[in-house]
Amino acid sequence: MANPQINPFTSLSLSILGDVVTVAWTVSPFFQGRAPYSFVVQAFEDNTFTTPIYSLPSVTTFYATDNKNLRQNFRLSFLYKVQLTTADSVVYNSNFVGWSPDDQIQQHHYLLASEITRREHVRFNYTGLYCYLLKRKSYNPIATSEVDPVTNEPTVDSSGGSYGVGMTGGYYTPCLFRLSIEAREVKEGYQPEGSGVQYSDLIRTRTVGFPYLEVQDIVVFSDGKRYIIVDPGNKYFPGTTLVLLQLSTMQLVPPTDTIYNITVPTTYHP
């Protein structure tokens, strides 16, 4: 059963590297569909959106990668829509993200954007670090024992439940990616109210458009330190929906936080 009146998606983004396109999305925390959700990305050749050329396999994460390589030339003529299906089989469709098939100027933009992204990856070969992203869940079955029954705001921070997120599991499966550290600022002093030492460790990072970084997501470095994103920043290629760069500020999470109980892989390379 489809419900065309409601669009639960708050954002869609594209990231292109060579002939691989990654589509990422976020769902409104106010969406009332019955969780858990599954997602299918559909590719179209024209904006009538009558019949998809193909659909990617269903996922339960926040992104899907199109590596089918069906384009025999780089026309960049595909438009993507994401289809959300709830636990009770109600279907919701996103708006499209992509490019107009006949817009040659925009096509040129995407070719340039793809090349800039490729060069950023080359730069990472010299300055980049592999990290894991713990993407904070905004939609999932609610951890009912850890949230306020009226507001659904988390009231318990438990490593056995939602890690203070309020959604079952708290975070998605760790996602490996690369970034570079552009600046670091460490401060140590006393709390103004006299309650002890105040320590602050802020880093400013640079990465490409995927994975999409948002406030309160967690980045795990190979030395075991975990940083929370406090100020994400995006740079789009003009005239496109493609994120070229993400320039984010992250703050070190104290080692006593339950977030350190989330297991990430020990291998920090593809």
Q: Regarding predicted confidence, which is higher, 102 or 212?
A: 212
Residues 22-76 pLDDT 10s: 888 888 878 888 888 899 998 887 667 778 888 899 998 889 988 876 554 444 5
> Considering the chain, what percentage of its residues have pLDDT values greater than 90?
26
- The C-alpha atoms of residue 224 and residue 265 are separated, in whole angstroms, by 11
Q: Regarding predicted confidence, which is higher, 235 or 42?
A: 42
- 69, 77, 52, 64: which is closest to 14 by C-alpha? 64
Ranked by mean pLDDT, the top range of 33-47, 68-82, 214-228, 242-256 is 214-228
Which residue bears the tokens 């089918």? Answer: 68
Are the CB atoms for 23 and 61 separated by under 8 Å?
no
**Mean pLDDT over all residues of the chain?**
79
Once rounded to an integer, what is the mean pLDDT over residues 224-229? Answer: 94
Number of H helices, E strands in the chain: 1, 15
CATH architecture of the region 9-102: Sandwich (2.60)
- Phi/psi at 18 (nearest 5 deg)? 65, -125
Residues 188-209 pLDDT 10s: 766 666 566 667 889 999 998 8
- The C-alpha atoms of residue 29 and residue 160 are separated, in whole angstroms, by 22
Residues 130-161 pLDDT 10s: 999 999 887 666 654 555 554 555 555 555 66
Residue 39 bridge partners (DSSP): 59, 84
Neighbours of 175 (CB within 10 A): 18
Once rounded to an integer, what is the mean pLDDT over residues 109-127? Answer: 83
pLDDT at residue 72, rounded to an integer:
40
What DSSP letter does each residue of 131-199 carry, written as one string? EEEEPBPSSSSB-GGGB-TTT--B----TTTTTTSSBTTSBPSPEEEEEEEEEEEEEEEE-TTSSSEEE
pLDDT at residue 221, rounded to an integer:
95
CATH class of domain segment(s) 128-136+172-261: mainly beta
- 101, 25, 23: which is closest to 67 by C-alpha? 23
Give yes or no for residue 4 having a pLDDT over 50: yes
In angstroms, the Cα distances linking 167 to 96, 110, 140, 256 are 28, 36, 6, 21
Give yes or no for residue 268 having a pLDDT over 50: yes
Neighbours of 220 (CB within 10 A): 22
Q: Which residue ranges make up each domain of the chain? A: 9-102, 128-136+172-261, 142-170
Once rounded to an integer, what is the mean pLDDT over residues 245-269? Answer: 89
